Amino acid sequence: MPMSHKNGIDLLRDSFANKSTAFTEDEKERYGLVGLVPDVTETEDIQVQRVLLQLGTKSTDLGRYIYLIDLLDHNETLFYRTIMSDPARFLPIIYDPTIGEACLKFGHIYRQPRGMYLSITRRGKVKEILKNWPQKDVRFICVTDGGRILGLGDIGANGMGIPIGKLQLYTGCAGVPPQYLLPMYLDAGTNNEQYLHDPLYLGLRQTRPSAEALYSFVDEFVEAVQEVFPKCCIHFEDWTGSDAVHLLERYRDKYCVYNDDVQGTAGIVLAGMINAAKIKGTKLSDEKYLFLGASSAGIGLAGLLCSALVKEGLTLEQAQSQVYMFDVNGLLESTRTDLFDFQKIYAHKHKPTRDFVAAIESIRPTTIIGVSTVGGTFTQAVVEAVSGVNERPVILALSNPTEHAECTAEQAYTWSKGKAIYAAGVQFPPVHFNGQTFLPGQANNFYIFPAVGMAIFATQASRVTDEMFIEAAHAVADQVPPDLLNQGLLYPLQSGILEIEIQTAARVAILVFDSGLARVKRPKDMVAFIREHVYKPEYAAELAIETTPA
């Protein structure tokens, strides 16, 4: 961090440097803090105890989220020490599923700025605005235009909660140091009438522009980042389906960019498919896949899946022929005239149908994948149909928040009579059925993108490739022990998330070096190399500041 001049009270207002009640007696004297903090010197563990006590007084997860964000605004180290102390407890509070409610109410629970807000009205000045950010070595920008937030749709500036939350996962899950992370909202307006008329809405009060105008704005932003933050990777998050796909294709071969909805979602679902195949004793290339939903998440997932199938020996055409898609207008098939260019490769010759059950009975998929954003669409008839054509149907209900899941774990196991191999986009509790206990996994991107991010950070990769996400998928899948696989769990336990991500990042980093994309010298021990870069939520012995006498 750059040196800055601070007196005592300014030091307490600096979330990066603030130690609150943990300043030593020497530090209190040196930095003019005597009398400004209680006359104690507490350990970080004592401070965490106080945080946990105060969290216990909150009656809702939204209340806990607000408290934790306020803690982050005042004491970054203590925030990360808290969430990294028990990730299985805190990840659902700072991200899924609580983040959905937090975004819907973002303008109402707003406390103070975090990240950057870049409006389309500032075209021509983007480079100068980026220079306002105090940290000059930014390695990741997570950016959204709020066009398709989770399963909530266009919520405009309220979507800023997502980049904030995603970057917290870079640190909390994989140890990427937080000072290198910048959440950003590109404000091009919103078509959400509710927010346009909400007096507390924080964004531009205008409808969205044409794709041409939006892309021109994004072009200026992406090109400015190359100059202002030359080591930066741009993480696109929660753009509308067509924009997500088209913008990724626009930049991926020129700059260090990726889209988590397209590639990160694909990576974690691929990991689940790999383990589902292990449970069944098959290979990915033996399976047939039917998606409910054909937007950016589904298309990205299908593309990465096909790349993985090619690695198993299929041609690309053979791989694509095993993937079917179904959207709001029915099955994607060759007579459809309403498809985007990136959907047409999955529009096979088939009788038109708007009946998902009929599609299952005709196609006979081994795996159904819900990316519809519509809760309850895997009905009892759907589950019974896929169970009727499979001994062990794979059911992935990936939409979130919880109310958007295509079916619950209990429904999947009950309606399939215990045959289903199931995972969801949110965490469901264990299900007891017919004397068995099933462990439903959560296909959450936080197993994948923070680890890929750490690999990019450590290697200073110049590009991001699909192969990195495929390797991450295999690395995550390999870390589920056989006893948990036998209970149907497709993903590792969240309690050990940091170690899981370190091992995953090391495997991705090997691929980065092998691909000639690294901009640092190759180490002898890749796991040790990754560990050297991991952030530790501990107060610095010496603060990187110069103080002005109080």
Residues annotated as catalytic are: 95, 166
Query: What 3-state class would DSSP assign to 7?
Result: coil
H/E stretch holding 331 reads: strand 330-331
For residue 396, what is the DSSP state?
A: E
* CA 277 centroid distance within chain: 24
> Minimal CA–CA distance to 118: which of 218, 207, 185?
185
Residue 254 burial (CB count, 10 A): 11
Task: Please name the residue that has the structure tokens 């895997």.
Answer: 378
Residue 217 burial (CB count, 10 A): 22
| Residue spans of beta strands (DSSP E) within 408-502 | 421-424, 431-433, 436-438, 441-442
Query: How far is the C-alpha of 549 from the C-alpha of 543, rounded, in Å?
Result: 15
| Residue spans of beta strands (DSSP E) within 21-179 | 116-119, 140-144
Tokens of 46: 């004592």
Residue 45 burial (CB count, 10 A): 9
- Residues 6 or more apart whose CB falls under 8 angstroms from that of 314 comprise 285, 322
> Minimal CA–CA distance to 450: which of 371, 533, 523, 525?
533
- Could you tell me if 400 and 151 are in contact, meaning their C-beta atoms sit under 8 angstroms apart? yes
- Residues 6 or more apart whose CB falls under 8 angstroms from that of 475 comprise 451, 503, 504, 507, 508
Query: What 3-state class would DSSP assign to 457?
Result: helix
- Could you tell me if 118 and 163 are in contact, meaning their C-beta atoms sit under 8 angstroms apart? no
- Residues 6 or more apart whose CB falls under 8 angstroms from that of 404 comprise 150, 151, 373, 374, 375
The radius of gyration of the chain's CA atoms, rounded to the nearest angstrom, is 24
- Could you tell me if 519 and 232 are in contact, meaning their C-beta atoms sit under 8 angstroms apart? no
Phi, psi of 19 (to 5 degrees): -110, -5
